[in-house]
Structures are given as C-alpha cells and as structure tokens.
Amino acid sequence: NNKLQVNKVVSHELAHQWFGNLVTPQWWSDLWLNEGFAQFLQYKGINKTEPDWNIYTFFYDFEISRVLELDSLLSSHPIRQQDDNAGHESEMFDYIAYKKGAGIIIMLENFLGDSTFWKGLKQYIVKYQYGNAVQDDLWVYLDKARLEDGKVKIPEVMAVMGGWTKQTGYPLITIGSKNSQLVASQKRFVLKSDAKLSDNSQWYIPIVASITGESMPTEIWLNPNEEVVLIDKDLDKFYIINHDRYGFYRVNYDPGNWDKLLEQFNSDHQVIGTTDRAGIIDDVFELAKADELEIHLALNFTQYLNKEDQYL
C-alpha cells in the first residue's frame, strides 16, 4: 500500500546519506555496496517505526524469493561485476545489486552478530568517510571486529563474502543420511534441469538448524568442498535448516524430514514460523521445477492452505 511504499522510499534514500554519499564506492564494480545496504537499511527503518508489520516476512516474500528465482538462471551474474567499459553502468542497477545485496548483508549480520557487525561497520564508515572504498575495505573492518570480539570459530570475513559476491548464483544444501547422522553437502542451484552446467562454485555457508524441542537453533559452517555433520542422532521430529531464512540458499531435506514437515503443516502449521513456512513452500516448489523433487510432494504442501491466515 501507499504507506508501505513511502516508508520504503524514505528509509532507502536516507540510507544513501551513509552508503553512497559519506562513503562512495571507488568504481561502479562496487555499486552493490550502495544499493544493497540501502535496501537492507530500508527494512531496518520500517521494522523500527512499524514493528507490527512483520516486515521481514514481507522482505522474504517480495524480495528474497524473487531474486532467488532470478539468480538460479544461467543468465545471472555476480553481485560484484567488473565494469571496464564506460556507458554500461545503468545496467548494473538491477535485482542482483539491490535484493541479493541486501540478502547477503542480512546473512552477514546474522552470523557475525549485531554488536560485532555494527562495530565493524561504524569503524569502516569513520575510516572512509568523505572518500572512496571497495568491498574488501569493508571486509577488513568487519574481520577486525570479529577478532576483537573473540569469534574465532567464524571463518575470515573476506573469504566468506568473496564467494558470495564474486560467484554467480547460490548454493543448494542437500541433506543426506550416513550412519545415523544427517550430513549436509552443497552445489550450485540451477533452475533449468536440462542445462549443461559445469560449475564447481562453492561457498562458506552459515547453516542455522532448528530442531523441534530444542530451545536454541544451532549454527554450523559448511565449508567449500566439504561435508558437515548437522545432527548426529536419529530424530523422531522434524528439523528446519535456514531457520528464519537468514541464509541466501535453498535446502533439500532427506525424505523422512520432508514427510515430517508435511505432517506438521497439515496438523498444526503455526508451530512453524511464518517466514519459515514461506521459505519451505518456496523451496519445495523451486526444487520440483528443477527436478530435484517430485512435483506431488510440492503440491501436497498446498493442502493446508485453507487454514493459513498469513500472507506467504
């Protein structure tokens, strides 16, 4: 509605006072620092002024789910683009710079933690105010804050974010069972299943796992070219990967967990948070479109919708 649109525009343009005006990218290649942060901060602003709007579910539904679909095409491109030819800059103002940029910043804030993220961001702005910077300058200050706060288990920020900004697309996390353990692996998610794709892209992925009956989600890192054990025990209840949808990736569960999630959707869907419900439905349909899952499973997840009272 009009009130929402006004809030979005005002918050977005105010954010450019810091990202664009006070600190300006050195070249168009880092345009996403302007637009990704402005997009990220516009939702921060709205959530502050209108906390009852549940704006982050809206952000997932209208921004992240759409750019996930776009970024799964072979025609997509990295967030950070090389721009060696003047005259093509207007083409860089697109969904990838704005929406994916905001999506990976939310992921970054979440795995660093609020205090560490904002500490590093403030130090970066003070250092480069009234001047120019590149994305690696930001990673240096965020990593400095990470080390100052003793968060040594988190990988180096430049290594993590370099993969997310310089590679096209995003990962699909696949959960498999090995020796009564649930193990996660990754590959690039591409929507067109008949595409001939030779792509060895790999990412550092912060996985947030929510297990039914446990009070706190567990954060685990899936590193490039590795597998990681998510859960080392048999579960009789469902679990959710990418809890609250902070991560910019899709998840394909083991068959048993898909069945448990479907059962929960049909028996009492409100046990699962609104943003997680939106993300699970989005994932299951996109996975079916990419021939990663059978379409009947995706359609079965629509059976509960006559009881849904939230906009997904």
Q: What percent of the chain has pLDDT over 90?
A: 70
> Look-up: residue for tokens 């904002």?
118
pLDDT at 179: 80
Residues 6+ apart with CB under 8 A from 263: 238
Residue count of the chain: 312
Residue 13 falls in the annotated catalytic set: yes
The answer to whether the beta carbons of residues 221 and 206 sit under 8 Å apart is yes
* Residue 85's pLDDT band (cuts 50, 70, 90): low
Q: Mean pLDDT over all residues of the chain?
A: 90
Q: Where are the alpha helices (DSSP H) in 96-219?
A: 101-112, 114-128, 135-148, 157-166
* Residue 237's pLDDT band (cuts 50, 70, 90): confident
- Catalytic: which of 13, 50, 89, 214? 13
Distance, CA of 280 to chain centre: 14
pLDDT at 94: 81
> Does the structure show a pLDDT above 90 at 62?
no
Q: What percent of the chain has pLDDT over 70?
A: 92
> Does the structure show a pLDDT above 60 at 86?
no
Q: Considering the entire predicted model, what is its pTM?
A: 0.92
- pLDDT, average across residues 205-230: 85
pLDDT at 200: 85
